[in-house]
Structure 1
Amino acid sequence: MNIYKKIEAEILTASNIVITAHKSADGDSVGSSLGLLHFIEKLGKSAVICHPDKAPGFLHWLDTSEILLMDENPEEVANKISKADLIFCLDYNAISRVGPEMESLLAASTAKKIMIDHHLNPEDFPDIIVSETTASSTSQLIVDLIEQSDNLDVLDAKIGTPLYLGILTDTGSFRFNSVKPRTHEVLAKLLAAGVEHHLIHEKLSDNNTETRLRLQGFAMSEKLEVLYDYNVAIISLSKEELAKYKYVKGDTDNLANLVLSIKGMRAAIVFTERDGIMKISFRSKGAENPVNLLAKEHFNGGGHANAAGGMSELSVEETLVKLKSLIPEYFSN
């Protein structure tokens, strides 16, 4: 029995299924969760999604009302997890990535846990691990689950639309080198199932607010620093600057990719002051310019070679100085 058939068997015998994903929701964590939920429903079972926090606004065209949030309904989430006999751990490789509140609930749970993820160095807390680091996204792996458990006939637009979204966002609109022939094979299956890909692109691209555009304009015109000796660009935004432009979650999500579009740039780093810490986004181009080591070794983070995240407890100014001091070490070639 292949691992995906084994997962199907676990779904069919479970009574209370919970789907979890990492803190600071993104397109892949939300897309894979919703895609898996609708697949489970097609199998005649029910499940509930429990996430640490709310999805950013640009994803709200999906039906995210089905997602219970730890930071809004802690008692309900705790109740669901305590009663679960099967818990899916999607798009994260370490239990700490769900945040301390949900981490303690998962650690205490006796439910069988299944990890489906594509990040490096997975921890061994789950009972079943699907860790495919060459996959473009966790959403792609959910399609693999559907196909390799011999359930491709149930794949439809309701299941496929969030999965397409997850692949789209986690590959930078198919520009990252994580895109392989298999990725396009999966996309073809989603289109054949009725996914209207052009509408997904429109809903992601044509939903800017005035304040979001003004914030991004300010960041590009006033806060962009380009280190041309290394072809690395940095943007830093303080909490006061974010407040001035009425920042809401998701407003800066595309800034790093926007900066990376500058001709000749090897890497882009954007950090914002939120919740008392600096949250850092690293993006780069090509296998010769990895950013995950910089994130892991100096900013308590990690991720993919060309897309990683991290954090700093230093001030905005101190974080900027630290980053600039490290650039020559990582981008001198």
Structure 2
Amino acid sequence: MNTFEQIISKVESYETIIIHRHVRPDPDAFGSQFGLKRFLQARYPEKQIFAVGEMEPSLAFMGTLNQVDDQTYQDALVIVCDTANAPRVDDERFNKGQVLIKIDHHPPVDQYAEINYVDTDASSTSEIIYQMIEAVDGLSQMNASIASALYLGIVGDTGRFLFNNTTPRTLAIASALLTYDIEHTALLNQLGEKDPHLMPFQGYVLQNFVLEDNGFCYVKITKDVLATYNVSASEASLFVNTIADLKGLKVWVFAVDEGSEIRCRIRSKGIVINDVAADFGGGGHPNASGVSVGDWDAFEQLATQLRAKAQ
């Protein structure tokens, strides 16, 4: 029995399934979570299927989350999507169910579940969910709602198919999802929309990045900058790729002071940087990672290691 069959076998054994994903959700976190929820609802209409966690306002158009009480976990199967390590799971009750399943595409640094399906060759966890649906003869249950969620997840994690994690398989799956008459142009417009009040902040980012001769670049967003532009830390993070088109750019870090920590989003063009993130307690993909540091002195240490990567 392969792992997809194991997952579906467990699903069929439980009347209640609760689906989690990581904190600070991105399109793939929601895409895989909502796509899986909607598929299971279509295939098993008699079961209770929940998607839980905190909502990210900029992605609220992707779906609605459920409120689940503690007692519901007692007899539940829990599935965590798109989350490499347990501390990053949104809602710590994820380990209160009877069985825990992990479905992910990040490097497997923490196999925290009883069943762990990890495919680091997949562009996204949404891509994996599609593969699972296909593998268990579930395409007859596919519909536009499921396809829309998975498509947005793939688009998000591939940077609209610009990142080097885009493979022929990725494009084939995206093409298949488009056959379900999803309104992909409208969806992409929604995914890229930003509230007008954020545009002055984008101007700040474009005027205050520091690009060094070796191709290393950094942006530092302090608490006073957030206050000046009336921007939350999560809203600021939407601009991590604002400088991605800079000529000569190799490695960049977008650092936002969130009060209790400085959240650093690290990106690169073909240079492995997740090892540096791991050195500071973070992780992620070879060219897209994240880490939190305690203060700006620690940020400078991180920047020093990333600067060396760009040499």
Give TM-score, length-normalised by structure 1: 0.87
241 and 115 in structure 1: CA distance in 2 versus 1, 3 angstrom threshold: same
Q: Does 1:83 align with 2:74?
A: yes
State the partner residue of 2:151. 164
Please point out which of 272, 276, 279 is paired with 1:294.
276
Q: Does 1:262 align with 2:254?
A: no
Structure 1 position 5, deviation (Å): 2.4
State the partner residue of 1:321. 300
Please point out which of 111, 117, 120 is paired with 1:133.
120
* Contact preservation (8 Å) 1:236, 1:320: no
Structure 1 residue runs without a partner (length 5+): 69-75
* Contact preservation (8 Å) 1:224, 1:234: yes
* Contact preservation (8 Å) 2:20, 2:94: no
Q: Does 1:106 align with 2:91?
A: no
Paired residue total? 309
Structure 1 position 167, deviation (Å): 0.6
State the partner residue of 1:73. none
Structure 1 position 49, deviation (Å): 1.1
Structure 1 position 328, deviation (Å): 4.0
SS of the residue 1:116 aligns to: strand
* Contact preservation (8 Å) 1:50, 1:77: no
SS of the residue 1:61 aligns to: helix
Written as runs of structure 1 = structure 2, the 5 A alignment for 1:60-79 is 60-64=60-64, 66-68=65-67, 76-79=68-71
Please point out which of 208, 216, 220 is paired with 1:236.
220
Structure 1 position 2, deviation (Å): 2.9
Deviation string, structure 1 residues 42-101 (Cα, Å, up to 9, x no partner) = 1123311122x222x32122223x344xxxxxxx45343x334210011012111126xx
Distance 2:218 2:3 in 1: 43
Letter in 2 for 1:282: I
Letter in 2 for 1:46: Q
86 and 324 in structure 1: CA distance in 2 versus 1, 3 angstrom threshold: closer
SS of the residue 2:276 aligns to: helix
State the partner residue of 1:209. 195
Distance 1:174 1:308 in 2: 18
State the partner residue of 1:188. 175
State the partner residue of 2:162. 175
* Contact preservation (8 Å) 2:206, 2:242: no
122 and 184 in structure 1: CA distance in 2 versus 1, 3 angstrom threshold: same
Distance 2:175 2:155 in 1: 13
Deviation string, structure 1 residues 16-60 (Cα, Å, up to 9, x no partner) = 110011111111111111101100111123311122x222x3212
275 and 16 in structure 1: CA distance in 2 versus 1, 3 angstrom threshold: farther
Structure 2 residue runs without a partner (length 5+): none
Deviation string, structure 1 residues 265-320 (Cα, Å, up to 9, x no partner) = 1122100000321000011112xx112112111x32110011100111013xx245
244 and 295 in structure 1: CA distance in 2 versus 1, 3 angstrom threshold: same
State the partner residue of 2:84. 93
Distance 1:160 1:249 in 2: 30
Deviation string, structure 1 residues 236-283 (Cα, Å, up to 9, x no partner) = 011121122111354223423221210121122100000321000011
Q: Does 1:40 align with 2:25?
A: no
Q: Does 1:119 align with 2:103?
A: no
SS of the residue 1:219 aligns to: helix
Q: Does 1:282 align with 2:274?
A: no
SS of the residue 1:256 aligns to: coil
Distance 1:197 1:209 in 2: 20
* Contact preservation (8 Å) 1:16, 1:85: yes
Please point out which of 237, 240, 245 is paired with 1:253.
237
Structure 1 position 189, deviation (Å): 1.4
Letter in 2 for 1:17: I
**Segment drifting more, 5-14 vs 230-239:** 5-14
Distance 1:94 1:328 in 2: 27
State the partner residue of 1:19. 19
